[in-house]
Chain A
Amino acid sequence: MIGEGRGEVTATRISEPVPFHDGFVSELVGRPVYVERDGERRLVGRVADFVVERPQDTFPHIDAVIVKTKHGELAAPIADVTLLDSDGLVVKKAPTVVRPPDDEALYLVEDLFDKQIVDVDGRKVVRINDIEVARTGGALRVVAADIGVAGLLRRLGAGKVVPALLERIPRALIAWDNVAPLHDLSPTQIQLSVSEHRLARLHPSELADIIGELSAQDAARVVKSLDDETAADAFEHLEPEVQRSIIDDLGTERAADIIEEMDSDDAADLLGELSEARQNELLAEMDSERADDLRELVAYAEDTAGGLMTTDYVWIFPHRTVEGTIAKIRQIAPETEFIYYLYVLDQAEKLLGVLSLRTLLLAEPNATIHTIMDQSIISVRPDLLAEDVASTIARYDLLACPVTDEHGTMLGIVTVDDAIDAIIPERLTKKLPRFTKRGQRRRAEAAP
């Protein structure tokens, strides 16, 4: 008694059955399962699913086959499988084990088929259409997720009708080492993604892309798993609405830590989106100096110099030497967006002069700053409108313009690209060169 009503049985009898090397789960599901005893095969059921007990492995091996029998779904350990070929599956003894519970193992068909994946390339959400398995390293392993049209058609049975068509469609597979469960195997909705340690290595804008694609709950969970700095970088690339919903989910303390790490202008933009009570809660958790800076920034209207400015700039005392200043820049440059102009301040933070990085580099190493700085300062008041800031910057060919109060006290700087962004329609700004992260982000967002 062999494979009831399967037409191809005779055909495969003539030529030897082809042993399974690699293929797709959807092709294996439904194949007959036989028990072989004394050279005689007895049909016991059909393949229903495969079980992986250690899904966290790079290419996890399959531990058991779930067989649909007359007595329900039973598990056959993979060690019992003596033969897997185009005819079907042969096992040493009839499966008797009841299938392990869902929360202890990963089921390839039940848990993975049709579920969402966030692609490593920062592409949008895709779905697992099929799973590729292969015999490598002495075991049957999960190799890749099929996310393409070919997988869809194969699942719909097109392989039996028009096999040639399937061959022609380019395959879209994601190697399994690029796919890992996002969090512990929750028994229900497994949302897959790039695994978390890999997330942190992505470029912040890609990371933001992925976070932006996730549901709000998952997004908050991913952000929680990142360190403050990575989270802050990614945050700067997110839409305000997404930022806000994640902040709501994070808890005040963690949210404050992340906001503290963000560029001050982005941090202020984000705080500006929140209610005043929430702002105060978050600011209270921060370092007091940083909190004061942010409080000031938030207070300015968005389309004024105050709203555009950042407090990340390089400042020095006038009595410093050129040599010492260069050393200081080297030290702080990695954390500061804009280092091309240096602002000379006194103890009371009054702006005394400006010098460019070029001037500094060309000066004698032991000269003091106040002898080389430019004292004819061009500065603007925080309430000046964005357009006027831009025209000031344009008129004097500046890369950035300092913002001071009526006593000449330094408040921050507006960089040329932020000024331009504020006055030019977004569509055009992507063509302009950038040197701050804020600018780069705009470009990344605008570009397709």
Chain B
Amino acid sequence: MLGPGFITASAGNDVGGIATYSAAGAKFGYATLWTLVALTVSLIIVQEMAGRMGAVTGQGLAGLIRENFGLRTTFFAMVALFFVNTGITATEFAGIAAASEIFRVSHYITVPLATVVVFLLVLRLPNRVVERIFVAFSLIYLSYVVSGVQAKPDWGQVARGAFVPQIVHDPAFLVTVVGLIGTTISPYMQFFLQSAVVDKGARARDLPMIRADVIVGSVLAIVLAGFMVIANGATIYQASLHTGHPPLNIDTAQAQDFALALQPFAGTFASLLFAFGILNAGIFTATVLPLSTAYIVCEAFGLEASLDRRFREAPIFYMLFGGAILLGAGLVLLVPKASLFKLIFYAQVVQGILLPLELVLMLIVINRPRVMGSYVNSLAANVIGWGTAVVIGGLALVYVWQSIAGGS
């Protein structure tokens, strides 16, 4: 039931995800839903590719990149991965900080506490147990489905938003779409899924299972994401249509602000549930992400990587995951809020720019018969895979150009 695809997709709905989906709904109503529908296909194809590469080669994505593109490419990929993932880890701690403020506890208490909890979870509990606990808790997201339904959206409009592509002429629309892509198909998700498939000892004949797992996980993750958009679209967006101004400043709002803003519409209980959901997502991703980053980087460089080793036996492994957690938590504590927001924002941007590069590497490897044997990509997978890479790459370029041209 809890296959790698399912867990990866759950990890994708992290603090950054909640914030992005909420913002998309609050700002543009249902207008971005169609991109989520389109992304479902891309997400499934991309994740299936990662799963297939793991099952066929018995190696993680980092290992395949090293063997197929050499050390330099790998080095830059790993440096980028580490810093982006540390940025995302900071996002998670920011979410924890924010959620704790909803419960009226200072984040100077909760963030150090969460750091300790994260270290304990990593060092004391098997990964599998941690995953199960948090995936169970992520059922909280179902409250978004309930709220989405309770908000009585105009389902006709929802359907139109989901299936009729539309572009809102607002520069912020592109930003939102790039954010949606980046958070729905994060570069680390492919590394994570492929390593998980390898860890399970899955192989080519397990592909039907892997595919089913990927499809179920991806669809479920996107349905939840969709309902976050709908819940916010039916409430905050509609309210701002009536009053002429939104109940919160969407451009700088973070996950917790949306949870609070939903309070008048969904009730205190639902709002508390959202806060708890953010807390859960934050701790889960802050636990899983630095650790898996350390494993991935060590795999690429052939370095000792295991929690069974002592520090001096696997120093780089421990420094990588300890460093990512401490940096992530430290940034939230030390950096002023406004700069922190920028930093997290740029982490998402870098994520969006790295994704097409990662896709290109994956597509090259997965089409090499000497690596994949008879399991090279089908024409359909290639069309969708390259299509996704080109479209996302194009959007990222336009976006970067816009922010350079308009931002300075």
CB of B66 within 8 A of CB of A123, answer no
Contact of B66 among A114, A117, A147, A188 (CB under 8 A): A114
B152 on the A face (CB < 8 A): no
* Chain A hits for B71, CB < 8 A: 113-114, 129, 152, 155-156
> What is the minimal beta-carbon distance from B165 to any residue of chain A, in angstroms?
42
Interface size class, chain A: 20 to 34
Given the known inter-chain contacts A152-B71, A188-B371, A215-B59, please indicate yes or no for A116 contacting B201, CB distance below 8 A. Answer: no
> What is the minimal beta-carbon distance from B30 to any residue of chain A, in angstroms?
45
> What is the minimal beta-carbon distance from B164 to any residue of chain A, in angstroms?
46
The CA-CA distance from A156 to B370 in the complex, in Å, is: 27
B118 on the A face (CB < 8 A): no
Residues in B267-317 with C-beta less than 8 Å from chain A: 299, 301-306, 308-310, 316
> What is the minimal beta-carbon distance from B198 to any residue of chain A, in angstroms?
8
The CA-CA distance from A381 to B75 in the complex, in Å, is: 61
Contact of B58 among A123, A156, A214, A241 (CB under 8 A): A214
CB of A115 within 8 A of CB of B58, answer no
Which 5 pairs, one residue from A and one from B, show the smallest C-beta to C-beta distance? Answer: A215-B58, A127-B302, A126-B302, A188-B370, A448-B308
CB of A156 within 8 A of CB of B201, answer no
> What is the minimal beta-carbon distance from B250 to any residue of chain A, in angstroms?
43
CB of A124 within 8 A of CB of B305, answer yes
B203 on the A face (CB < 8 A): yes
CB of A127 within 8 A of CB of B309, answer no
CB of B67 within 8 A of CB of A115, answer yes
CB of B302 within 8 A of CB of A241, answer no
The CA-CA distance from A218 to B58 in the complex, in Å, is: 9
* Chain B hits for A189, CB < 8 A: 57, 67, 370-371
Residues in B66-106 with C-beta less than 8 Å from chain A: 66-67, 70-72, 74-75
The CA-CA distance from A129 to B66 in the complex, in Å, is: 10
A136 on the B face (CB < 8 A): no
The CA-CA distance from A416 to B301 in the complex, in Å, is: 44
A187 on the B face (CB < 8 A): yes
The CA-CA distance from A128 to B203 in the complex, in Å, is: 25
A9 on the B face (CB < 8 A): no
> What is the minimal beta-carbon distance from B156 to any residue of chain A, in angstroms?
50
CB of A187 within 8 A of CB of B370, answer yes
CB of A123 within 8 A of CB of B304, answer yes
B63 on the A face (CB < 8 A): yes
Known contacts A124-B304, A156-B71; 11 further A-B pairs (Cβ under 8 A): A114-B66, A116-B302, A124-B305, A126-B304, A129-B71, A188-B370, A189-B57, A241-B200, A242-B201, A245-B201, A448-B308
Chain B minimum-CB-distance residue to A26: B71
The CA-CA distance from A338 to B370 in the complex, in Å, is: 50
Given the known inter-chain contacts A116-B63, A149-B316, A245-B203, please indicate yes or no for A216 contacting B58, CB distance below 8 A. Answer: yes
Chain B minimum-CB-distance residue to A220: B203
The CA-CA distance from A147 to B302 in the complex, in Å, is: 7
The CA-CA distance from A147 to B298 in the complex, in Å, is: 12
* Chain B hits for A126, CB < 8 A: 302-304
The CA-CA distance from A127 to B301 in the complex, in Å, is: 7
A125 on the B face (CB < 8 A): yes
Best-buried of A115, A117, A124 by chain B (most CB within 10 Å): A124
CB of B305 within 8 A of CB of A215, answer no
The CA-CA distance from A156 to B78 in the complex, in Å, is: 13
| Mask: chain A, 419-448; 1 = CB below 8 Å from B; 0 = not | 000000000000000000000000000001
CB of A156 within 8 A of CB of B72, answer yes
Chain B minimum-CB-distance residue to A445: B308
> What is the minimal beta-carbon distance from A439 to any residue of chain B, in angstroms?
19
CB of B203 within 8 A of CB of A217, answer yes
* Chain B hits for A245, CB < 8 A: 201, 203
Chain B minimum-CB-distance residue to A102: B370
Chain B minimum-CB-distance residue to A186: B370
* Chain A hits for B304, CB < 8 A: 123-124, 126
Chain B minimum-CB-distance residue to A127: B302
> What is the minimal beta-carbon distance from A400 to any residue of chain B, in angstroms?
31
* Chain A hits for B201, CB < 8 A: 216, 241-242, 245
Chain A minimum-CB-distance residue to B75: A156
Can you list 19 A-B pairs with a CB-CB distance of less than 8 A? Answer: A114-B66, A116-B59, A116-B302, A126-B304, A127-B66, A128-B302, A129-B302, A149-B316, A152-B71, A152-B301, A155-B72, A156-B72, A187-B370, A189-B67, A215-B203, A218-B58, A245-B201, A245-B203, A448-B308
Best-buried of A114, A216, A245 by chain B (most CB within 10 Å): A114
* Chain A hits for B370, CB < 8 A: 187-189
> What is the minimal beta-carbon distance from B308 to any residue of chain A, in angstroms?
4
